[in-house]
Structure formats: C-alpha cells, structure tokens
Amino acid sequence: MKHKWHIKTHMLSALIGLTGAVLLTVALVFNLSMYGFIRSRVSAQLSGVSQSASEERRDGGRGQKDQGAKENNKERFDEHADRVIGTRGSAVLLTADGEMVSNLHGDETAADDLSAWYCESAGTGPVQNKVVFLENGTYVVSTAEDPVTDGQILLTYVDVTSVTAFARQINLVLLLVILAAVLISVLLSRRIARSFVEPVRSLSDFAGEIGGGNLEPRELTFRDVEFDALACSMNRMASDLRQARQKQEVFFQNVSHELRTPLTSIRGNAEGIVCGLMEPQQAAKVILAESDKLGGLVEDILFLSRAGKGKTVADVPSVDLREIFSLCVSEQRTEADGRGVSFVFDFDESPVLLPVREQDAERMIGNLISNAIRYAGSTVTLRCRNETDGVFLAVEDDGPGVTAEDLPRVFERMYKGKGGRHGIGLAIAQTVAQDCGGEISVRNAGGAVFEARFPRIR
C-alpha cells in the first residue's frame, strides 16, 4: 500500500527541497566561479613571477650589478608578484635534489617549507600550478629550469592563504544562510500548510455530515477563493440533496396513496365475492379495471426510474408521429366521449418522422392527450408537422389553462396540480422528449398549450 503523507509534510519537504536546491546551486556556482577566477589569476601571476625571476637571474648572470638594473628588476618583479589582490608571488632557487640554494624573494620560512616539500614529495619532477597545503599556509607552486645554472630549479609560488581563508568564510556565511533559509522554510511551510489544512478539515467535516444525512447548510468563509467556492458548491449540493429528499418523500407519499386506492377497490370487491355480497362478474370487471390502473401506474414508475438509460436516437428506427397520435386518440376515445370532448387534427400530409421507440412515443403523446382531455371544455386540438429545423407537435385544450402557481412545476415528478392524477404523466412526456434531443414546454393561450420540438436528425 502506498504510503500517504499529510499536506503539511508535503509542503515542508517541497519548500525545504526547493530552498536548499536554490541555495546550494548558488553556493556551487559561487565556489566554481571564485576558484576558477583565483586559479586563472594565480596561474597568470605565477607565469609572470617565473618570467621576472628568470630575467632577474639572467641579468645577474651577465654581471649587471649596477643599482639601476637592480631597481628595475625589483620593480618588474613586484609588478608581477602583486598582480592578484591579497596575494604576492615569490621565488626560491633549488638544487636538482630539492635543497634550497637561495631565497630570491619572499619569506624565509615559506621558502624553507616549500623546499622541504619539494624534496620530499615532488622529487625532481616538474610542477605546474600545484596547490600545496602546509602548516603555515596554502601555496600555488610552479617550477622551471634556472636559466643561469644548469641543474638548478627556479621554484615560484604564490601565497593564497588569505584568499582561501576568505573563501572559507564566505562558504561559512553561505552555510549559515542555507540553515537560516531552511529554518524559515520550516516555519513558513507550517504556516502555509495550516492555512490549507484547516479549510480542508472543515470541508471534510461538512462532507461527512452530508454523507451522514445532515443536509443543513453551514456558514463557511475562507480567505482563499477556491476554498470559498468549494464551500458554496457544497452548500448548493446539500440544498439540492435536501430538496431531492423532500421530493422523494412526497413521491413515496403520493405513490403510496395512488397504490392504496386501486388495492383497496380490488380487496373490497374480492371480499364481496368471497362473502357473497357482490355479483362475481361485475366485481371481476372492477378488479380487472383497477388492476389495469395499478399496472399502468407501476409501469410509469418503472419508466421514470429508467429515465436516461434508454437507447439513443441512432439505435432506433423512425416512426410516423401521426400514426402515434391516431393510436392514442383511439385508445382514449371512450374517455373523451364520456366527457363530451372532441378532437381537431392539424397534421402534415407527408409523414412526420422521429427516431424514437414506438412505446416511448405512445407514452409521451398519450399522457399529453390524457391531460388535455381531463381539463378541456369541449375540444382538444392535435398538431403534428415538419418544420425547417425539425419536428413540431402540440396538444391544445380549451379549458381554463394552467394556473400561475402550477405553470413552472407541471413537469416535476409527483407534482399534482388541481385535478391532477398521479403527478407522473407530464414528467414522463418531458423525459421522452429530452431522450430524443427535444424539449417540451407549456403556455396558456385560451387553454393550456403543450408544445414539443425536436431537432432534425441528419
């Protein structure tokens, strides 16, 4: 199982790692640049010192003993010896075995130590810009053959003790800066992590309450816009879930009532047959009718539960909506005649095709017609036609229309307006229309007008 870290630990490690990497990179670049600069300058200085010492030896070998020549050689040597700030070049003459012949320039102690080092470590081999660490200091050493005496060696060196000490001090300062930066990173990361952890914990607790069934909104305010937006979204979710729970409770109450009515009728007629109080054939007709109502209600509920899981329009053949209208009118003709309602047809002469399952189309149109019959005064007008951008159908009645209170809620599941039955029919009609990519709406124009439009399928 993958190890899980706290946000605080993640932020701490990331901030420390970033800070340390930046400062270590700065320290590395500084040291490489500084030591590269020192090496190049010291190398140039050693070359100049060696050249000056060699010329001085040549002049001395040619017998130039006058004071002016000596002063000139000294000035030229000093010019090369002092080329790097804080360091000075010097020279010493050694035998081939490494024993000191004379200290040409520089400190006697350094000359003795370097001749001893050369004798012990370097032997008779040449040395080029070698860094030598001795007890009394750090030197960069080069050797060359003495231009005057065969077999003798001219050893030139630069004392870089002060320069390396300065570099060590700077590195120490950099180390202290790194440690201070890491400490600041720890404190800063804890503070920043706290600003993230506390909102996350609050939102997590809120989510736990929602999961536990407590859907009351909470007043959560955060400084970060993202957390504040998340809190608002969770409050909206809790509100939506609370409304859904209320609708569900209303749904079960209505379903229970609608199921109880036919079941009560069925049970009453069955008991009448058993007790010999009712004529069996007449009671059986009532039981059959109520069973049909009960079965239709169950089918409607099952259809709504499967809403959105049906086939797409590409998976079903197209049907002629005019035929669906005619079939639904035939099925409900008896009820319409009983209420004194007649039908007016306004259909296209050409087929009005829509890719939809025939059973679903019957549910949609049948529910619209049934609703219109229930509220119509005397006439229900049915329209079905092709339009430029799709298919249009409408069911109109000449009744009182939909009240302003009911108008925005007529398609809600289990919402029953005045004179409504189950509160399912119009929800089914809307669901079928949406599954086909269309939309259904209602308006008042003398009576209620239900219109549905579907895009043309290419």
In a domain? residue 201: no
**344 and 241 within one domain:** no
Domain that holds residue 238: 225-305
Q: Which helix (H) or strand (E) holds 138?
A: strand 137-145
Task: Quote the pLDDT of residue 69.
Answer: 47
CA distances from 46 to 43, 74, 79 (A): 5, 16, 12
Mapped onto helix, strand or coil, the DSSP state of residue 416 is coil
**138 and 85 within one domain:** yes
Task: Using DSSP bridges, classify how beta strands 318-320 and 353-355 pair: parallel, antiparallel or unpaired.
Answer: antiparallel
In a domain? residue 187: no
In a domain? residue 192: no
**319 and 290 within one domain:** no
**157 and 12 within one domain:** yes
**346 and 439 within one domain:** yes
Quote the distance between the C-alpha of residue 131 and its chain's center: 55
In a domain? residue 189: no
Determine phi and psi for 357, rounding to 5 degrees. -65, 135
Q: To which residue do tokens 């959105």 refer?
A: 308
Count other Cβ atoms within 10 Å, centred on residue 243. 11
Buried residues in 368-397 as b, exposed as e (16+ CB within 10 A):
bbbbbbbbbeebbbbbbbeeeeebbbbbbb
Residue 304 tokens, joined:
């709504």
Buried residues in 101-130 as b, exposed as e (16+ CB within 10 A):
eebbbbbeebbebbbebbbeebeeeebeee
Q: Give CA–CA dist 205/200, Å, rounded.
A: 8
**114 and 51 within one domain:** yes
Identity of the residue numbered 267:
R
Mean pLDDT by 10 residues, the chain (458 residues): 65 77 83 81 78 74 50 52 63 82 82 84 72 85 83 84 83 85 80 78 85 82 82 88 78 71 82 83 83 76 64 71 93 90 93 90 90 91 92 93 85 67 76 88 90 83
Ordered alpha helix ranges (H), 212-354: 225-274, 280-305, 321-331, 333-339
Mapped onto helix, strand or coil, the DSSP state of residue 214 is coil
Q: Is the dihedral of CA 30, 36, 37, 38 positive or negative?
A: positive
448 DSSP assignment = E
**235 and 142 within one domain:** no
Domain boundary among 169, 187, 215: 169
**343 and 267 within one domain:** no
The CATH number of the domain where 271 resides is what?
Answer: 1.10.287.130
Backbone φ/ψ region at 123: left (φ over 0), alpha (ψ -120 to 50), beta: left
Residue 392 tokens, joined:
């249009």
CA nearest to 345, candidates 372, 364, 326: 326
Q: Is the dihedral of CA 163, 168, 169, 170 positive or negative?
A: positive
DSSP-assigned states of every residue in 57-101: HHHHHTT---HHHHHHHHHHHHHHHTSSTT--EEEEEE-TTS-EE
**254 and 236 within one domain:** yes
In a domain? residue 134: yes
Task: Using DSSP bridges, classify how beta strands 342-347 and 379-387 pair: parallel, antiparallel or unpaired.
Answer: parallel
CA distances from 433 to 251, 268, 307, 392 (A): 22, 39, 11, 11
Count other Cβ atoms within 10 Å, centred on residue 46. 24
**260 and 141 within one domain:** no
DSSP-assigned states of every residue in 154-209: EEEEEE-HHHHHHHHHHHHHHHHHHHHHHHHHHHHHHHHHHHHHHHHHHHHHHHHH
Domain boundary among 133, 148, 169: 169
Buried residues in 226-236 as b, exposed as e (16+ CB within 10 A):
ebeebbeebbe
In a domain? residue 193: no
Q: Give CA–CA dist 157/139, Å, rounded.
A: 6
Residue 314 tokens, joined:
């590409």
**97 and 130 within one domain:** yes
The CATH number of the domain where 346 resides is what?
Answer: 3.30.565.10
Count other Cβ atoms within 10 Å, centred on residue 288. 12
Task: Quote the pLDDT of residue 396.
Answer: 94
Q: How far apart are the first and last CA of the chain?
A: 52
Identity of the residue numbered 349:
E
**297 and 318 within one domain:** no
Mapped onto helix, strand or coil, the DSSP state of residue 325 is helix
Domain boundary among 140, 169, 198: 169
- How many domains, the chain? 3
In a domain? residue 79: yes
In a domain? residue 217: no
